[in-house]
Structure 1
């Protein structure tokens, strides 16, 4: 494809661009994040918040620099390579033993899942668990034969040395018996001497003992022995601080030593004298008796003393009053019942009197009716 420019003759389009942009180095301000809360505070407020505060370096790690940028962390393989640079012979053997043990566990797991793996992955090469287990056992046996005594490195075993000397003696006997000696072969016995540097080890052990002794003295002064044994109350310098921090303990001791300044002692002496004078005045004021107050106190005491005998009778008196209250309530109920009964009795008497009068009237009317009936019957009989 060609452009329709004036000077173009069928060439492909070429566009010139600037240099590639530089890598991103401006990462902005971290405080612009929504998770960071900005609090307006002046210099005076900030100083008031942080005055007298200190950071305990025991629980804070300042090894990481406060830098901006993308962090390039090492992979596990690179970390393992860096760790192997400072690895000793014994550490390497222990690491190999651990790796062989892990390999043995993986082979055992592979042995249990051999059928499943062969059926699921037909394209992969098959691993014989029995062969792998035999190879792992051989590796473990080979590692067990490795000597870890670093102090004896470079020295030959006595049995090997004796066997080596006997072999050289037999070889010399064969040469003296008529065998032809080659031109490049040695004609004498070769002795190899190895010096074990025990003096440096002795001096190093002496220096270590001296350092250990100094450390024990420092631990006793600081009070670390009590913390190791689980003592609740630490001694030494750690007894001066609740955070068990040596720097805080030293600062506390410095503050206490500053109190022993001459000016501080003079001020404390002056304050103590003023306090003693105030105490003497209070004592003299208390020594002056108040007759009226003492008289009132005596009267109150005599009154309370009189009520001591009545105090024992108060429970029984209260019980009796409660009983009398109940009795009075029952008596009032009885009186009301009696009054109601009297009213009912009067009404019954009035009704009885009315009934007697009605009865008398009925009897008189019955008598009159009876005489009338008898007269009627007599008249009827006459007819």
Structure 2
């Protein structure tokens, strides 16, 4: 099986896996235990915290380790809401946020918050002018993802952050899809909180990072929590955090090289589809390793199953959305109607992606687009 779904999850880096096993067997102490074994584990934990602060170029005491992106999103948003800069109950987000964000927003609506869901323009971005218009005197929080998880569009976070800071609005950004794929240090310094997930950059599943700017005087979401300075409950996963940190260091060291390689692979892929360009739509995105597209008249799930039958693993959108009957959130957000929106599928590159595999997948998709029996399938 040729894997083209790295945006959903990555294989665990071999060196990170070896480090995980060694840490779990040799440095197994609870990081909060006061004996020497616990002290060793805590030393490793704090070194990882310092390393992530360097990778993001933020203050160390704002780094908290979690079980992944979804938990980081929940706790990051809750932390900001516990310490608003002004009175109000209005929140702004986008229609195309990850399910973990949208579920939090629905929960907050039951608690009396009012949430404005912004559409995206045809390029897949939040319009800064529209964003400025929806900010109100009672707006206290904004949560806008850095990179769209379906088409790879980068949002204008720096511009949005400037507007938020002018109006004393706290800003959270889901950086799960952007960390390790594009530079995010400027974004990290501009926002009040952000989220990262280890398995998106070859770390272990069940690991993540939340950053909350130390100037935010947040309160624990669950009272009585002691781990991670009260940020989250539960024994800290030191072996997983060590493995995630190593994986993060490795992707950071090869970031620009991989971006160049993915740019080449993307160009190669699109060149192979040139003959059927009238029958497909490829959406623009700034992450070169992610391609969101449609074959006109063909349901994306059928394309995914055909690719799988031929030995290629692709997806019809974010893994947390797969299996649901409604169309892609991103397609809906940019104004693509339901029937066409269900044609969407996503291809994403990673470490093991080769030029040969990219060309062969593109040729398969071109054949699917040209077959009359396929293009006439009912949706």
What TM-score, normalized to structure 1?
0.17
Give 1 or 2 for the bigger CA radius of gyration: 1
Q: Could you say which structure has the greater relative contact order, defined with CA pairs below 8 angstroms and 6 or more residues apart?
A: 2
What TM-score, normalized to structure 2?
0.17
